[in-house]
Each structure stands twice: as C-alpha cells, then as structure tokens.
Structure 1
C-alpha cells in the first residue's frame, strides 16, 4: 500500500479519538482514509464501504464526517478512476445528503438553510437558561437547569452539522471542479452533479460548465451538465441550453427541457409558446426516454423529476401539462409517488363552489387523464391520508372505489 502524503498531510494532527462517527469514536477513520489510496482495488472498495457506512449512515453526518472532508477531497484527485467517482458520490452525500431532492425542481435554498441553523445556534438560547438559573431558588431546579444548559451547549443539531459538512465541501469545490476534465465519464458527471449543489458558487461554476458542455461527447454527462446549468443558471443561460432541445439524443433533450423548466419559472427568462410546448412534450416523454438511468439527480427517479418540472409549468398550458403528468405518473417510483400525487391534484383542481366537481365527462381532457393515471399509479392500494385530504378539498371522491366510480361515470 502506497500513501500519497500530500493527500493525507495533517491526518495525524486530527484528534480522531475525540471525534465520533455514527457508531463510535473515529479512531478507525484515518486507517480507512489511508486504505482509500491503496493500489489494491479490493482495499479501496473496502475502505469506501466503511467510510460510507460510518460517515454517512442513513443520511447522518457527524463531527468525524466534517473532519474527513478535506482528506477525501484531496484523495479524489489521486485515486484511480474506478474509485474516483465513488469518492465524489460520498462527497455529494456528505454535502447535501438527499436534501437536494427535497428542493427540486428548484435549486437548494441555502439562505433558508443558513437562517435556520443561525436560529438554532442563537446565543440567546443559552442566555435564557442563564436567566432561569440565576432566578431559580430551589437547588434541585437550579441543578436541573444547569444540566440542561450544558446539554444544549454540547448538542449539535443534525441540520447544523449537515451545513458544516456542506460548507467544508464548498471550500474544496475549486479543486474538485478540475475533474470536469477527467478522462472517465462517471467522474465528469458526478463533478457536474456536485457543482449543481452549490448555487452560491454559480458565478464560478456556470462558466466552467458551459465550457465543458460544448466539448462533451458522452450523452449522460452532457445531460447532467445541462441539469446543473438549469439549477445554477440565470436568464442568460437560457440560449445556451435551448439549442439542446433539438439534440438527436433523447436524454439530452430531456435534460435541456428539465433545465429550461426551472429557468423559465425561477428567473427573468422568457421563451416563446412553441418552446414551452416542446419542453412540456419532452418532459412527458420521460418514461420512454432511454439512458436516463445514467443521470443521478432525484436519486435516479427522473420521471418523478419530470413531474415536478411539469407541475411548475402549469401556468403556461394547464391542459398539456396535465396530459404529460398523466403519462409519467404510473412510472414514478413508489417512494416519490406518495409525495407527488397530492400536489398534482392541487394544481389540476380547485375547490368547487358547490363542494364537488362536475361530472367526469364534463372535465377538460387533461383533468380526465390525470385522474385516470392517478388510479393506475396507485394501483390496488388504499389512498394515503394526504391524497385523501387533497381530493376532498378539491371536491373529488377521496377513496379509490369512489373515484373509480366517478371516472367510470357511475356517480
């Protein structure tokens, strides 16, 4: 095993034994980091498994995760390609977990995240304990308040340590973005994905992504870069992305449509009706689009990502949007479908003054297709509470059997 001293310089200066990862103290982390740059691929893979499990177990991050970030960011530049992309994935997870999925189809709302953590860490929180301790006359009550204050001072909220990890990766972003020019496509794609997580760095990263996309030859990487440009760009990015709507590669067209959906709804960008129609049509074709599996946004559920983008475009052409959503819903992952169905109903229907919608046959075609697709997407399972509430609020039957009867015209 050969250690790259520049990658691990300072490793022994970190007090690992006083830090914790998910399971225990972090004494083993430096050994795993050394193993990560082994010439032996089995050793590297074993180290990756340990690092993922201990530094990012089920989305949890810890002080050891934070301390490991600079070393991981340096190691990624020197390990073989087969390992490099996996280390990048670990850095993406340490930076944002699955937080980016919760923000789609928009970009990560870092100002809100920072404001929340600032509120959690407000010094006045401890000052209030100090006031209560000073006012306490009962010794037992004073001791209890003192212990609570100490626990409050030592406690790190998960959202706080996650933001610290996010910023630690952000500090390494300039060196990591050099991997946009890596020889292997997986590394280039994951580097673009990582860049998409940092809207605060858009002024630096967008020009680099624009340069890279013009020379990229791998469709899945081009598509990833286009989605990143959509999440980071402004109105000036639109002309660069729009041309890719005409690509012969379906995955690239999908990515361009996804990027434009965000740009035309979240920036001052304007596009003509024909372009909006093409965006909607392309997103609606997502279930039939090949190679989407090679693009990793939204945990790989890109049909679900399409639905999110389509719903954001409802103000442009509600009927076309609902038809496209209906085409996608049965192919959305079970995990995301529960989240998507209530807002889809909300976008399509508003509460009726009579407390119920007109007969199914009187609904516009897009609304009809949405309800038919909803029944297909849910299958034989019962509607969950959120979907039932949304259906009821919109004056629609709130059980599967009743909605089936409504759609079939027997109600």
Structure 2
C-alpha cells in the first residue's frame, strides 16, 4: 500500500499554503494506528489540498492514494476519506471564487492563471471519477453508513456513468437499508441520462417505494433530473413531503447527500422544474420558513425568491406598487420569520434580488430594509446611516 507515494514530485506541486512536500507524510499518517496522528492528518489534508471549497495542483495527485487506503481493510475512518473525495470533486478554482469584479478578471495575467487553476479543478474531478471501482467495491461493506457514503461518492463519477449505473441498479435490488437505498437512488438521478427509459425507470421506482424517506428521495432525484419535464404527480409527491412528521425529516437530514433539510432540498427541485409551478408551490414554501434552521433557510429563501421573482432582481425603480400579491406575501414572510436572519449569508441571499445600498458594489439587505421597502420606501433611496 502507498508504494508509489514518493514517486510523485510533491515539492513541485502546490496546496493552499505553499508547496506540497508535506502531503505524502500526511497521507501515510492516515494509515497510522494512532488516532491522534490520524486526526492531525485529517486536519492538514482537509485544509490544504482542499481548502474551503477550492482545489490546487496537488489535489488530483492525492486521490489514487486515498483509493488505496479505502481498499485496505485495516484503514480507519473511510467515511471521512470518501467525504473529502466528494468535496474535492465539487471543488472550485480559488481565483474563480474570490475574484468576481470584471476589472479584476480582464487582464491576460489573470486569465492565464485562471485557466491553469481550472485545469486543476478538472483534473481533481476526473481523478475522483476514476476511482469508481473502489467506491463500487465499498457498496459491499458491512457498515451501512459506509455503503451509503460510497453510493453518494459514485455521484461524482459522471465520466464513468456507463460502468457505474448498472452496478448501482444491481445493488439497489439487493440493498435493504433505507439510507443506502436513498443514496443509490439519488446518485442514479445524478448520473442517468434524460431519456424516456429513465422516466419509466424512476416512475416505476417511485411506485414501488413505501417508506416516506424513499418516496421523497425518489421524487426529488427524478425532479432534479427531469426538470421542466417532471410529471405533476411527482410535484404533488414533493409537496406532500412538507407534511411529513419530524422523525421522517430527521432521517432525511441525516443522509449523506442532504446538505440542508428536507424542506429546503425539495425547494431546489421546484426551482429545477421551473416557474410554471410557482403559484402551486410558493404558499407551501412560505409556510416552511417557520420550520427552517439558519442554514436551510438560506437555501429555501433563495429558491423562494427565485420562483416568486422569476429569477429577475428588482430594479432601482421598483416600488411596492409594482409587486404582485404573491411577491408581497413572500417579502412579508421574510420579515415575519425573524429567526431566518440568524445566518449572515441571508443578507447576501436576499440582497441578490435587491439593488445595492449606500453606494456599495455588492448588495446586502437586512430584515429591516425589507420591512421598510414593504412600507413604501423607494429602492433607489439610500439608507440613513445610524
């Protein structure tokens, strides 16, 4: 195991804090019998070769060694390894994330560096995808949670979907654990093509499900895949998800793919389906705000505003009189539900749909700002400093 680790020119590669010469040592430490040593290796790798959503020139190089570790029965914390691989597969370029203004991005030097970083992103994503035989093998692991995370990791293997899809379908026939079945179904939704055979497969699969978590997961996976072609009966099934008891929603939230709660996750499917269903789903989304935590509410509010405004931000000339009753109801709900503003990200989420204030280049709207707008304050009028 790890026999070729030292053949990689790590000192010529980079991570978030400099050259990657320490990386092979950290990878070796992942196989240590000492829990504290392993823990330190997790911390170092999870903040360097992958750092707050961004990847580097060394990132792709670590992936085959992670797969070697995952194949070894003696290696602990395989769920952590898989979770980091999923994050890596969804990683971005540092420059692409942190430099957004046109004047910063227009120089040839910036474009050249960005192109290089985007190659790292592609290489990292493809390296994770190439590890699909390892993740398929882990679908046979004794530990259900490990099987579930392995199934979700396979969602990152789009370039090998021809090999992955049949394997997942076979495992789904034999798998009896709800969490693993849910992850397989969600991954199939990520990988299967938008063709009639896929529609037939998901409709058949949906009719077979009895457990509420699997019913919602199947409908969600299908809607995210089918988008505007989602059958209305699937939309109705998703709406019924908001009526599920707390224990069902808690089980959903514990699934590896559930980054936010069930209510917010379903709202993402509604956005994928499109504006045509907005009148049908917006009243339910408004009610759901009362039950969202800070993180999930950011996602739900973004989707709610997107549907209510058809993706178009307000112009500076917009007044309360220009709004439909539904749009007024949505903004009123944002003001009414004070708890959703506990996350600072909410200011930017709401601000995305409003013009900047106080001559700022970016838009941040507080709950009080929305309340004043509802009372008739013009959007072009700047806030009075306090």
Task: Give TM class, smaller chain.
Answer: 0.7 to 0.9
1:389 and 1:398 in contact (8 A); partners too:
no
2:263 and 2:300 in contact (8 A); partners too:
no
Match of 1:134 in 2: none
Match of 1:325 in 2: 285
User: Within 2, Cα distance between the matches of 1:386 and 1:17?
Assistant: 40
Match of 1:198 in 2: 157
Deviations 1:382-404 (A, max 9, x none): 98476367478xxxx99433466
User: Within 1, Cα distance between the matches of 2:43 and 2:54?
Assistant: 15
Gap change, CA 1:98 and 1:260, over 3 Å in 2: farther
Deviations 1:147-182 (A, max 9, x none): x7xx98788743331221111222222333222222
Matches within 5 A, 1:144-183: 157-183=116-142
User: Within 2, Cα distance between the matches of 1:347 and 1:155?
Assistant: 33
The equivalent position to 1:184 in structure 2, one of 143, 146, 154, is 143
Matched, 1:400 2:370: yes
2:11 and 2:20 in contact (8 A); partners too:
yes
Q: Name the larger-Rg structure.
A: 1
Match of 2:358 in 1: none
The equivalent position to 2:254 in structure 1, one of 294, 307, 312, is 294
2:328 and 2:374 in contact (8 A); partners too:
no
Q: Please, what TM-score do these two structures have when normalized by structure 1?
A: 0.69
Q: Please, what TM-score do these two structures have when normalized by structure 2?
A: 0.73
Match of 2:67 in 1: 73
Match of 2:185 in 1: 226
Match of 2:198 in 1: 237
Gap change, CA 1:18 and 1:156, over 3 Å in 2: farther
Gap change, CA 1:98 and 1:344, over 3 Å in 2: farther
Gap change, CA 1:187 and 1:374, over 3 Å in 2: same
Matches within 5 A, 1:194-343: 194-233=153-192, 234-235=194-195, 236-242=197-203, 243-244=205-206, 247-265=209-227, 271=231, 273-282=232-241, 285=244, 289-297=249-257, 299-315=259-275, 317-335=277-295, 337-338=297-298, 340-343=300-303
1:286 and 1:302 in contact (8 A); partners too:
no
Match of 1:44 in 2: 38
User: Within 2, Cα distance between the matches of 1:79 and 1:49?
Assistant: 22
Offset at residue 196 of structure 1 (A): 1.4
Gaps of 5+ in 2: 97-105, 356-366, 377-386
Offset at residue 77 of structure 1 (A): 1.0
Gap change, CA 1:391 and 1:23, over 3 Å in 2: closer
The higher-RCO structure (CA 8 Å, 6+ apart) is 1
Deviations 1:276-304 (A, max 9, x none): 31233225649762312322336344432
Offset at residue 255 of structure 1 (A): 0.8
Number of equivalenced pairs: 343
Gap change, CA 1:314 and 1:163, over 3 Å in 2: closer
User: Within 2, Cα distance between the matches of 1:333 and 1:384?
Assistant: 15
Match of 2:83 in 1: 89
Gap change, CA 1:399 and 1:176, over 3 Å in 2: same
Structure 1 vs Structure 2 CA RMSD: 4.0
Match of 1:56 in 2: 50
User: Within 2, Cα distance between the matches of 1:261 and 1:302?
Assistant: 14
